[in-house]
Amino acid sequence: MNILFIMYDQLRFDYLGCAGHPHLETPNFDRVAARGVRFTNAYVQSPICGASRMSFYTGRYVSSHGAAWNAFPLRVGELTLGDHLREAGMACWLIGKTHMKADAKGMARLGLAPDSVIGARQAECGFDTWVRDDGLWGEGPDGFYDEKRSPYNEYLKSKGYAADNPWSENANAGIDDDGNMASGWIFMNADKPANIREEDSETPWLTTRTIEFIAQAEGPWCAHVSYIKPHWPYIVPAPYHDMYGPNHVPAARRDPVEREDPHPVYGAYMDNRIAAAFQREEVRQKVIPAYMGLIRQCDDQLGRLLDHLEETGRMQDTMIVLTSDHGDYLGDHWLGEKDMFHDPSVKIPMIVYDPRPGADATRGTVCDALVESIDLAATFVEAAGGKVPDHIIEGRSLMPWIRGEVPEDWRRYVISEYDYSQTPQAVKLGLRPRDCRLFMVFDGRWKLVHAEGGFRPMLFDLWTDPDEFHDLAKGADHQAEIDRLYACLAGWGRRMSQRVTKSDAEILAGRGRSGRKGILPFLVDGSEVPEELTSRYRGPARQDFTAERRDE
Amino acid sequence: MNILFIMYDQLRFDYLGCAGHPHLETPNFDRVAARGVRFTNAYVQSPICGASRMSFYTGRYVSSHGAAWNAFPLRVGELTLGDHLREAGMACWLIGKTHMKADAKGMARLGLAPDSVIGARQAECGFDTWVRDDGLWGEGPDGFYDEKRSPYNEYLKSKGYAADNPWSENANAGIDDDGNMASGWIFMNADKPANIREEDSETPWLTTRTIEFIAQAEGPWCAHVSYIKPHWPYIVPAPYHDMYGPNHVPAARRDPVEREDPHPVYGAYMDNRIAAAFQREEVRQKVIPAYMGLIRQCDDQLGRLLDHLEETGRMQDTMIVLTSDHGDYLGDHWLGEKDMFHDPSVKIPMIVYDPRPGADATRGTVCDALVESIDLAATFVEAAGGKVPDHIIEGRSLMPWIRGEVPEDWRRYVISEYDYSQTPQAVKLGLRPRDCRLFMVFDGRWKLVHAEGGFRPMLFDLWTDPDEFHDLAKGADHQAEIDRLYACLAGWGRRMSQRVTKSDAEILAGRGRSGRKGILPFLVDGSEVPEELTSRYRGPARQDFTAERRDE
């Protein structure tokens, strides 16, 4: 079997037809959902690209792998999906974005050349690279945000796009009435068509690369197809730019009560520039239709990919996973972007299609189990026929759910984390880096957010307040729930996350072996164990050095 | 400056003259204490050789480095004292024992040859090896406990010791009345003189190797001089074998109340073979005088080393640290060995002599601050002139205390951990490996022990019960203290231990930089930032692909 592990960047869980969006039709997402399981309570380990992705790729919590924010390097030697799948006999390829930052210092310390196979995998979080393009080719006075070469810009140039940075000037900009570049960075331009042929824009480009990969690949393989869209800059080529308009924009889910005595960290985020922009209705009305157009384009390209799989017979032997690295507030809760733990940010779409007969019982169903993004790594290892190394991968395989089984010992809460130490909010709050850390515990009903740095927690009851407007930790009525969730967080904090060199099986096999290797620190007179174990400690002394001493 | 980082294996905190032992004289330990600071509340991160040492050598808690028990490999790439000191321009050498197990699988995965410099350091927890000898050359039906070559056995053979394993047959055995080997593994032989010339026994041998090292070393260097003794087998050559006798053996610190409804894990340890042996008074009367003799020999050899340093002028430029990896119950609390968290096991001697004038104010003093073994790594980095990388090293430098300062934000509790997953106690309790983990929190008065696996905690009040006989968690009267210490443990559990690729300084320097690299996801109309930041997103469009589309 093969695995198509498809990730969309910043795709909200509820911006899909099958998830009930009132205006956005996504027939191809729905087509996969109709053949697979849609997980309706799937959460990311961190609501930010880099940290979230490192959790997907390692199967480990952010505090376990340590790459806590964008461009925080993943430490050298940290095991990834690629390591685990190759051990199970499955190749593991990257097509698109990872947001991986190599641990260059660690690699140099271990003498790993970046251009060696081992070094290249270390630098690409374990993947072999079909194409790596993180999709953010922004450029400012200090240079490019992403210093690597841009395969996408190279492609555009080969297609006759004359700009220095056609990603910026064509794919992510329109043209204004005066013939000037209308940058997609500027929200007021979001309703313009991107100045690019639709087939050259980012989503079709990566889909074509994926089809090329599949055409030549010999299995078993896992391909991580990782789209930059519908991530900002919010601008999309025709015909997607005007498929949706202000009348398709849902009302912002926000309530004045949220602005009353907000948690200081939430308050700092509500006051930032992104939030201020999304608090303006004209921004939402420009941006959200573009965001929907980008998703619709993703859906069409997914259809193209599914058609290719069907035509080539690959639907029968390819698992397909559709997911996202986090959501997008889009003005809900007075916020833009992601970063905090309301569902629009931390909850993700997750649809798993398994072609094997064992999954027939669940086709077209939804599953509301508490799922974490780290579960996919375990799922893929099991799908590849490997044994999940549960002393390394902290996620749980979703295969039981996909087979229609209900595991008795499934998790009772999900954890997500956020490190905002490098953000303007940290400056505003005057915190040292290690105090800029948030932890979410969500048990399916109650959502607790703990903030380091001496702040009070936040608490939401999603049963009585599904929109998460009422922070119950402001009052004193819910201490019992707060204590209970803190106990969950404490138990999680004591988890065994770094004993990665020794499996449970090795420990069980090692029990009681030291006696058979001559370590016997309990013998009173030697009769305590079979003579076999002490035979080397018996017999005549060969020389008598105590006598020698007496002679001196 | 140089650093002599001297470790004795299994040396109890209270078996030194300067620590108040009623019978054991240790004039040379006392000589260092008189010139330095003796820390009276120093605790190991785990009361077991391997895990404790990996914490000393990494400056990190056991749950952070993951090498949770003896022979659990230290993961490849984990930073060690050697890495940090070399970065500060100080060489870092090993002379003796580390109990390090290399992560052979991880090294192979990264293509690190064990015989390369980088590979050798990875395999020796960062040290360059002057001599590596872990001092346990036991042998049984399954072969040697330690599969490496034994420099000590090679030395003995070169000195005419004819046995196959002279460590076993000479250094750690006497001769009985019939001329037979009287193995040191058997406690009833502990009062016999070891069948070896005293100068060839382990402690003088390693001291000679150390003097040889110092004679040729060019600074600055750190030498980890790591003695196997007074660790078992308990047997010592003349004249140390009969310096102490039963009249020098303190009464066992144990109380029948400890056996009443003991904590299940403690109960399992009280019932093991080592404990059963040490519960017999004749064992204590044989073993403890040998243990004292071994310490007395260590002290004499320390004197020899100090004399050498004085003669060569090295006392003026060498920091000396005397410590241990854990203690030894010796029958206290109905236990033998270590493993649990009573002070005889988890508390260690720690004496620091700093030759520099800045330490003059504290010479000959004691310090009762809560100290952890991981503090030494930080202390050494500071002593070497480096900046402590506090995103990697979790210990705190002791230099303020040594200078006579009182840091305002010193820790309020110490943590120790124990993983007994591979022991007979785990089998007896029927636990899966990850439930075999203990955590100690000690705040200077209250000591809480948390046990995974659904057990109740243990609680001791060392102010009212300095002998730790009364487990207050058996009753219901101390829930407030239990809750308070659990909150400490929870805070520790959330510590930032794996963000090892990004320092606080790098984070502070990185704040607010993305805008200058063209990442501007908050522009409503472009007026929000200086035009400099958006200049690349302005100007005339070079080509009009939207027009091309309209033409089609």
Residue B31 DSSP SS3: helix
Q: To which residue do tokens 């002593």 refer?
A: B383
The CA distance from B368 to the nearest CA of chain A, in Å, is 28
The CA distance from B107 to the nearest CA of chain A, in Å, is 9
Question: Count of CB atoms within 10 A of residue A495's CB?
Answer: 17
Evaluate if residue A551 carries a pLDDT over 70. Answer: no
Tell me if A536 and B165 make a contact (CB, 8 A cut-off).
yes
pLDDT at A514: 85
Query: In this structure, are residues B404 and B74 in contact, taking their beta carbons and an 8 Å threshold?
Result: no
Q: State the maximum Cα–Cα separation within chain B, in Å, rounded to a whole number.
A: 110
pLDDT at B514: 85
From the list A68, A160, A524, the residue facing B280 with the nearest CB is A524
Q: To which residue do tokens 């070469």 refer?
A: A149
> What pTM did the predictor assign?
0.97
Element (H, E) at A350: strand A347-353
For the segment A439-477, what is each residue's pLDDT rounded down to a tens digit?
A: 999 999 999 999 999 999 999 999 999 999 999 999 899
Query: A279 at the B interface (CB within 8 A)?
Result: no
Tell me if A518 and B434 make a contact (CB, 8 A cut-off).
no
* Dihedral sign of CA atoms A338, A341, A342, A346 in order: positive
For the segment A425-440, what is each residue's pLDDT rounded down to a tens digit?
A: 999 999 999 999 999 9
Distance, in Å, from the CA atom of A185 to the CA atom of B524, rounded to the nearest integer, reads 8
Strand partners, B321: B5, B352
Query: In this structure, are residues A192 and A182 in contact, taking their beta carbons and an 8 Å threshold?
Result: yes
Rounded percentage of chain A residues whose pLDDT exceeds 70: 99
Kindly indicate the confidence band of residue A219, based on its pLDDT and cuts at 50, 70 and 90.
confident
Question: Count of CB atoms within 10 A of residue B1's CB?
Answer: 17
Which of the residues B87, B427, B428, B498 would you substitute to probe the A interface, choosing the one with the greatest number of A C-beta atoms within 10 Å? B498
pLDDT tens sequence for chain B (552 residues): 999 999 999 999 999 999 999 999 999 999 999 999 999 999 999 999 999 999 999 999 999 999 999 999 999 999 999 999 999 999 999 999 999 999 999 999 999 999 999 999 999 999 999 999 999 999 999 999 999 999 999 999 999 999 999 999 999 999 999 999 999 999 999 999 999 999 999 999 999 999 999 999 998 999 999 999 999 999 999 999 999 999 999 999 999 999 999 999 999 999 999 999 999 999 999 999 999 999 999 999 999 999 999 999 999 999 999 999 999 999 999 999 999 999 999 999 999 999 999 999 999 999 999 999 999 999 999 999 999 999 999 999 999 999 999 999 999 999 999 999 999 999 999 999 999 999 999 999 999 999 999 999 999 999 999 999 999 999 899 999 999 999 999 999 999 999 999 999 999 999 888 889 999 999 999 999 999 999 999 999 999 998 665 555
Tell me if B186 and A83 make a contact (CB, 8 A cut-off).
no
Chain A hits for B422, Cβ within 8 Å: 507, 510-511
Tell me if B186 and A74 make a contact (CB, 8 A cut-off).
no
Distance, in Å, from the CA atom of B262 to the CA atom of B269, rounded to the nearest integer, reads 10
For the segment A17-63, what is each residue's pLDDT rounded down to a tens digit?
A: 999 999 999 999 999 999 999 999 999 999 999 999 999 999 999 99
Query: A494 at the B interface (CB within 8 A)?
Result: yes
Tell me if B66 and A492 make a contact (CB, 8 A cut-off).
no
Evaluate if residue A506 carries a pLDDT over 60. Answer: yes
Evaluate if residue A103 carries a pLDDT over 60. Answer: yes
Averaged confidence pLDDT in chain A: 96
Q: What is the DSSP string of B43-71?
A: E-SSSSHHHHHHHHHHTS-HHHH---STT
Count Cβ atoms within 10 A of the Cβ of residue A248 and give its class: 0-12 exposed, 13-18 middle, 19 or more buried: middle
Element (H, E) at B7: strand B2-8
Q: Which A-chain residues 167-186 have CB contacts (< 8 A) with chain B?
A: 168-170, 173-175, 179-181, 183, 185-186
The CA distance from A252 to the nearest CA of chain B, in Å, is 18
Tell me if B168 and A537 make a contact (CB, 8 A cut-off).
yes
Distance, in Å, from the CA atom of A489 to the CA atom of B491, rounded to the nearest integer, reads 10
Tell me if A498 and B498 make a contact (CB, 8 A cut-off).
yes
Non-local CB neighbours of B81 within 8 Å, separated by 6+ positions: B56, B57, B58, B59, B92, B125, B126, B127, B222, B224, B377, B380, B381
pLDDT at A55: 98
Residue A320 DSSP SS3: strand
CA B422 to chain centre: 19
Strand partners, B372: B43
The mean pLDDT value for A394-406 works out to 98
Helix axes B281-311, B202-216, angle to 10 degrees: 20
Distance, in Å, from the CA atom of A124 to the CA atom of A100, rounded to the nearest integer, reads 6
From the list B65, B520, B549, the residue facing A185 with the nearest CB is B520
Distance, in Å, from the CA atom of A340 to the CA atom of A342, rounded to the nearest integer, reads 6
The CA distance from A172 to the nearest CA of chain B, in Å, is 10
Q: To which residue do tokens 């050598």 refer?
A: B57
Distance, in Å, from the CA atom of B188 to the CA atom of B190, rounded to the nearest integer, reads 6
Distance, in Å, from the CA atom of B457 to the CA atom of B341, rounded to the nearest integer, reads 12
Residue A93 DSSP SS3: strand
Query: In this structure, are residues B12 and B331 in contact, taking their beta carbons and an 8 Å threshold?
Result: no
For the segment A311-325, what is each residue's pLDDT rounded down to a tens digit?
A: 999 999 999 999 999
Q: What is the DSSP letter of B145?
A: S
Tell me if A528 and B196 make a contact (CB, 8 A cut-off).
no
Q: What is the DSSP string of B522-547?
A: TBSSSTTS-HHHHGGG-SB-S--HHH
Q: To which residue do tokens 């009353």 refer?
A: A260
**If DSSP states are collapsed to H, E and C, what string results for B59-127?**
CCCHHHHCCCCCCCCECCCCCCHHHHHHHCCCEEEEEECCCCCECHHHHHHCCCCCCCHHHHHHHCCCC
Residue A503 φ/ψ, nearest 5 degrees: -85, 160
Whether the link from the prior residue into B400 is cis, omega within 30° of 0, is no
Type of residue at A140: G
The runs of H, that is alpha helices, within A72-201 are: 81-87, 104-109, 117-123, 151-158, 166
The CA distance from B349 to the nearest CA of chain A, in Å, is 23
Task: List the one residue out of B425, B423, B454, B422 whose CA is nearest residue B269.
Answer: B425
* Dihedral sign of CA atoms A187, A189, A192, A197 in order: negative
Strand partners, A102: A74
From the list B170, B433, B494, the residue facing A545 with the nearest CB is B170
Which of the residues A502, A504, A531 would you substitute to probe the B interface, choosing the one with the greatest number of B C-beta atoms within 10 Å? A502
Chain A hits for B490, Cβ within 8 Å: 486, 489-490, 493
Whether the link from the prior residue into B239 is cis, omega within 30° of 0, is yes
Query: B148 at the A interface (CB within 8 A)?
Result: no
Which of the residues B62, B107, B110 would you substitute to probe the A interface, choosing the one with the greatest number of A C-beta atoms within 10 Å? B110
Query: In this structure, are residues B426 and B383 in contact, taking their beta carbons and an 8 Å threshold?
Result: no
Distance, in Å, from the CA atom of A491 to the CA atom of B36, rounded to the nearest integer, reads 41
Q: Which B-chain residues 34-53 have CB contacts (< 8 A) with chain A?
A: none
pLDDT at B17: 98
From the list B73, B426, B526, the residue facing A511 with the nearest CB is B426
Query: In this structure, are residues B324 and B344 in contact, taking their beta carbons and an 8 Å threshold?
Result: no
Distance, in Å, from the CA atom of A92 to the CA atom of A222, rounded to the nearest integer, reads 5
Query: In this structure, are residues B34 and B406 in contact, taking their beta carbons and an 8 Å threshold?
Result: no
pLDDT at B549: 59
Distance, in Å, from the CA atom of B505 to the CA atom of B516, rounded to the nearest integer, reads 19
Distance, in Å, from the CA atom of A232 to the CA atom of B75, rounded to the nearest integer, reads 39
Tell me if A233 and B494 make a contact (CB, 8 A cut-off).
no
pLDDT at A549: 59
Distance, in Å, from the CA atom of A185 to the CA atom of A208, rounded to the nearest integer, reads 26
Tell me if B185 and A533 make a contact (CB, 8 A cut-off).
no
* Dihedral sign of CA atoms B179, B183, B189, B190 in order: positive
Distance, in Å, from the CA atom of A119 to the CA atom of A115, rounded to the nearest integer, reads 6
Q: What is the DSSP letter of A69?
A: S
Query: In this structure, are residues A445 and A461 in contact, taking their beta carbons and an 8 Å threshold?
Result: yes
Distance, in Å, from the CA atom of B281 to the CA atom of B21, rounded to the nearest integer, reads 20
Tell me if B175 and A544 make a contact (CB, 8 A cut-off).
yes
Which of the residues B60, B435, B436, B545 would you substitute to probe the A interface, choosing the one with the greatest number of A C-beta atoms within 10 Å? B545
Which of the residues A60, A271, A422 would you substitute to probe the B interface, choosing the one with the greatest number of B C-beta atoms within 10 Å? A422
| ipTM of this predicted structure | 0.96
Non-local CB neighbours of B75 within 8 Å, separated by 6+ positions: A77, A498, A500, A501, B65, B66, B67, B103, B106
CA distances from residue A402 to A56, A220, A353, A388, B176 in whole angstroms, order as listed: 19, 20, 9, 17, 69
pLDDT at A293: 98
Query: In this structure, are residues B510 and B302 in contact, taking their beta carbons and an 8 Å threshold?
Result: no
* Dihedral sign of CA atoms B268, B274, B275, B276 in order: positive
Q: Which B-chain residues 232-261 have CB contacts (< 8 A) with chain A?
A: 232-233, 238
The CA distance from A209 to the nearest CA of chain B, in Å, is 22
Q: To which residue do tokens 């902290």 refer?
A: A394
CA distances from residue A197 to A239, A479, B163, B549 in whole angstroms, order as listed: 10, 57, 84, 7
Query: In this structure, are residues A18 and A349 in contact, taking their beta carbons and an 8 Å threshold?
Result: no
The CATH number of A2-493 is which of 3.40.50.720, 3.30.470.10, 3.40.720.10, 3.20.20.70? Answer: 3.40.720.10
Q: Which A-chain residues 288-347 have CB contacts (< 8 A) with chain B?
A: 336-337
**Tokens at A341, concatenated:** 């733990």
pLDDT at B219: 82
What are the residue boundaries of the structural domains of chain A, listed by start? 2-493
The runs of H, that is alpha helices, within A241-391 are: 264-270, 273-278, 281-311, 343-346, 375-383
